[in-house]
Structure 1
């Protein structure tokens, strides 16, 4: 089938057009690419060939210039690319610039500035509370319904999908152990999340209100917040996650622009506690997204977490992240936190799926509590699109390899 003729129902049709960075096989040159079906459009080459004014934003080695250009430019560039791949008059020019996905290498699409990870799923937070505080009157911490809880991660260990993840080593101490020991993690886990990519920066000393979310956030991607639960359990009191999280965070090679997800907007769950004004979204447009996520372990689907159940929205997370005057930088990345639904098959981590190792996760030809060396985790997702279409999100996958 010619590359322009994307099959009907393809989730990567011209209604989607996510951005990435690619190299043709055998080449060290990198360029901005746009996915169309099972091909990648050389967006910089197309801009040059068609005499587009957006050459300066697309003929680049990363998405950074486009991210920094701001909301008006994002919309204008998207309209232009949509015309390039749909208007018949452009076919002769564009066709040579479409590369089969199987013949390119995909790279981390932007330089990650700061990385923050949140804890926005009430189902996940309640499960964790029940696991670790079974005798507590409330499985949620007292602050959970009042603000989006988060922690600062390590931007330098954010890696693109397909990168191997080395099993981390560190200190661990089981409750019955007299002293901590050092060695490879024996409770390596995943967290199925959605990452939001900041484009337009903000000035230090100012805050970003809920209404300005789409002026600063360019798009989203799938994210796997790999977690060493045994390292995390020993280190996290009193300052929270550190080495148990900072060894690797995997993100998709494709960033889906917010403009492609307008039909996936949904209201968040009903609020059970009054919110302070800077987080009160009752008069804002629906801030949730109906993303249907699927988590596979070694090719077998183990969970299907619904993102629409997330209590705190990405706009609220951005507002909270900046309310103290912290600035945004182009390339900032923040994760939603583990996505978990109410059902047992909707839990976004092995911690929950196995109830901290108490239960065995049965696979067709194997079983697991936590990850073993050689395991491959793949997270995929789609969202409702215009006119009954589906908008595919680029997958994020990673294979566990033994400690160095």
Structure 2
């Protein structure tokens, strides 16, 4: 089934992208600041719309961690506005480039240009509506947003507020559009609109991402699920390890950079695990462990094979005792999703080997996996975290929303 309204959205976006590509940095920044002001001015209507989404989610029995991800507050609106102001202050990647000359006199310039039209498909996180629009705009792209049905009222309110503010500052109509239909058939068409959409970026759980990959004919930048690991090596400082694990797991369990599996060296397991478990239980974390873990922690449930590859997005942690770094690396290689992994150790050589050998977008030594974030990396808001290896990997900011173009200057050369 084809939807003419969606085709028209594509046409508007393509036309808008043509103009956005040539906007100056100052013009784009002025629009972003206007969008920030509009969010604050219309905070009341945005929060009222969000309250409808939260109520429906609670009535459906949505997990508390997911409801919290959906919920907006006055402080949250201010944070979104601050994010827009921060993006306005970032360097504009469009136009960056380099020159070189060839022996025949040709001068070649490689320069950064916008991708064009970006379709952003995401789940129940209304903040993505604003973050994605901001980054796409700053990088000179038009964006078609399609959020999850759980956040539809919030997304409608947010997108209308920022789109009106942008158009009020002279941005072409169609620069920021939200697909307000939640039926899957509409998304199926969007994923095949190669004539109008240059790239699709999915952001959400494994089901959403795989659905987009399987059904899209438009090129996809794959953001990944996060089965993230922490390995507590035998020379770890427990005073560092316990807070790192607690932060990685509990600070916000419903996000892709949260810790899902803890690996502990066998030589320290009997001393470390009781200390760790005491803090985990105090934070309401359910432990699912290997046989060795369950022997040390009688309160732990037995982990299944499925647990090792599960992104819980909840206060659940799987724990496995391993016999050294080699076994830890083997476990991560088998079950990891190439997102974020950390080692906790005071042994420099072990840390360096872990950093070198783990294949993931972000690999840490003695730090929380929660740092895998565009804002924490200094990119401003992020469009998502890519776990693939082509075009972009890790937190995707402004540069990842551009591509390159070659401009060649000649003087009659034919050879």
Specify which structure has the higher proportion of strand: 1
The structure showing larger relative contact order (alpha-carbon pairs under 8 Å, at least 6 residues apart) is 1
Higher Cα radius of gyration: 2
**What TM-score comes out, normalization by structure 2 length?**
0.25
* Superposition TM-score, scaled by structure 1 size: 0.25
